[in-house]
C-alpha cells in the first residue's frame, strides 16, 4: 500500500456525497429510513406501540383508520467503508494493494469532509475501527477469510444506518447478488460498490499444467485450463458481471469496477470518478 500516493491524491479530492432530494445534500445526509425530523417521508397504518403524536388526524377523519405520518431521519454525515477480507482479495500483490489504497483514500478524504469514517474488515476475524485507527488497521489486516463476503458479513458488527457506505471487494461470489446488494444498501444514504479485479480474474491464463483454483477454499475448480475451459470461464464471468450490474442498479448502488493492474492515480482519474471528485478543500 503506497500511503504517500494516497496522501498526495487525497489532498485534492472530496467524496461525491448524495444530492437527491430524499438522499440529502452535502453536509446534511438524510437516511432512507423513517425518523422524527420535520421532513415528511410517508404515511402508514398505526401499529400497537406507535407514537400517537404522529397520528394524522385529518387522515383519520377522512378514512376512519388510524394513519401515521412517518418522518425522515436527519443525521450527521457518516462514512462506512467495508473491506472484503477474503483470500481472493490477496490473489496478487497488486490486487491487495489497490484494495487497501482505495479503502484508505476513502477514509482519509471522508475524514477531511467531517464524515466520521468507520472501517469494517470482513476477514476471518471481524474488525471494526474508527477515525485514525482506520489507517493502522489497513496496514495490518489480513485477507485470510476462507469464505466470501456474503458469509463474512455475518461476523461483522451491524452496519449503522444513514451513512455513506463504500464496499471494496471483487464481488466474485456464488450467491444471490440481488440479496447481497440489498443487504449492503439497507439503511445507507448512498452505496458505492468498488469491485477490484486482478488480471487473472479478468482473463485467466492457460498453459501446461495450469488449473483454475478457488482462492478461498484452495479447491481445484477445473482439471486443466484448456481453451474450452477458459472460454467457459469467460462466459460465466460475463454473465456474473451482468447480474452484478443489475443487482447494483436495483439496490440504487453505484458499481465501480477497477483493474488492480492500474495505479491508484489512474483509477481516481478514470473508473473511480463517480466516488472521488475534485474539491479537497471542501
Lowest mean pLDDT among 27-41, 103-117, 186-200, 259-273: 27-41
Find the mean pLDDT for residues 206-231: 56
Q: What is the pLDDT of residue 55?
A: 80
Distance CA 148, CA 86 (A): 6
Q: What is the pLDDT of residue 106?
A: 95
Higher pLDDT pick, 145 / 47 = 145
Tens of pLDDT, residues 148-204: 888 888 888 778 777 889 999 999 888 899 999 998 998 888 899 999 998 877 876
Pair 156, 120: CB distance under 8 Å: yes
Which of the four pLDDT bands, split at 50, 70 and 90, describes residue 257?
very high
Which of the four pLDDT bands, split at 50, 70 and 90, describes residue 206?
low
Q: What is the pLDDT of residue 47?
A: 63
Q: What is the pLDDT of residue 26?
A: 37
Structural domains for the chain: 3-15+77-275 (3.40.50), 32-74 (no CATH)
Supply the angle between the helices 93-112 and 3-10 in degrees, to the nearest 10: 40
Kindly tell me if the per-residue pLDDT of 205 is higher than 80: no
Higher pLDDT pick, 32 / 120 = 120
Kindly tell me if the per-residue pLDDT of 73 is higher than 70: no
Tens of pLDDT, residues 1-54: 788 999 999 898 999 887 543 333 334 444 444 444 444 445 667 666 666 777
Kindly tell me if the per-residue pLDDT of 98 is higher than 90: yes
Tell me, letter by letter, the H, E, C secondary structure of the chain. CCHHHHHHHHCCEEECCCCCCCCEECCEEEEEEEEEEEEEEEEEECCCCCCHHHECHHHHHHHCCCEEEEEEEECCCCEEEEEECEHHHHCCHHHHHHHHHHHHHHHHHHHHCCCCEEEEEECCCEEEEECCHHHHHHHHCCCCECCCHHHHHHHCCCCCCCCEEEEEECCCCCCCHHHHHHHHHCCCCEEEEEEEECHHHHCCCCCCCCCCECCCCCCECCCCCCHHHHHHHHHHHHHHHHHHHHHHHHCCEEEEEEECCCCHHHHHHCCCCCCEEECCCC
Amino acid at each position: 500500500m503506497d500511503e504517500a500516493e494516497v496522501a498526495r491524491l487525497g489532498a485534492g479530492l472530496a467524496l461525491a456525497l448524495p444530492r437527491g432530494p430524499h438522499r440529502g445534500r452535502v453536509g446534511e445526509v438524510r437516511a432512507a429510513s423513517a425518523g422524527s425530523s420535520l421532513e415528511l417521508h410517508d404515511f402508514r397504518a398505526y401499529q400497537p406501540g406507535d407514537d400517537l403524536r404522529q397520528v394524522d388526524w385529518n387522515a383519520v377523519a377522512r378514512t376512519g383508520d388510524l394513519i401515521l405520518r412517518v418522518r425522515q431521519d436527519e443525521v450527521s454525515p457518516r462514512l462506512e467503508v467495508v473491506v472484503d477480507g477474503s483470500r481472493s482479495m490477496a490473489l496478487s500483490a497488486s490486487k491487495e494493494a489497490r484494495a487497501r489504497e482505495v479503502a484508505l483514500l476513502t477514509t482519509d478524504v471522508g475524514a477531511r469532509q467531517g464524515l466520521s469514517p468507520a472501517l469494517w474488515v470482513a476477514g476471518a476475524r471481524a474488525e471494526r475501527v474508527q477515525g485514525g485507527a482506520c489507517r493502522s488497521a489497513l496496514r495490518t489486516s489480513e485477507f485470510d477469510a476462507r469464505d466470501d463476503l456474503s458469509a463474512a458479513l455475518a461476523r461483522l458488527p451491524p452496519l449503522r444506518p444513514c451513512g455513506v457506505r463504500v464496499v471494496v471487494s471483487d464481488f466474485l461470489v456464488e450467491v444471490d447478488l440481488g440479496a447481497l446488494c440489498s443487504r449492503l444498501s439497507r439503511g445507507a444514504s448512498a452505496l458505492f460498490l468498488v469491485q477490484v479485479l486482478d488480471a487473472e480474474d479478468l482473463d485467466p491464463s492457460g498453459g501446461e499444467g495450469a488449473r483454475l483454483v478457488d482462492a478461498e477454499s484452495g479447491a481445484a475448480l477445473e482439471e486443466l485450463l484448456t481453451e474450452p475451459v477458459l472460454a467457459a470461464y469467460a462466459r460465466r464471468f460475463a454473465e456474473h458481471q451482468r447480474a452484478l450490474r443489475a443487482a447494483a442498479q436495483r439496490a440504487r448502488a453505484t458499481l465501480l469496477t477497477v483493474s488492480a493492474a492500474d495505479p491508484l492515480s489512474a483509477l481516481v482519474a478514470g473508473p473511480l470518478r463517480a466516488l472521488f471528485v475534485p474539491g479537497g478543500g471542501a
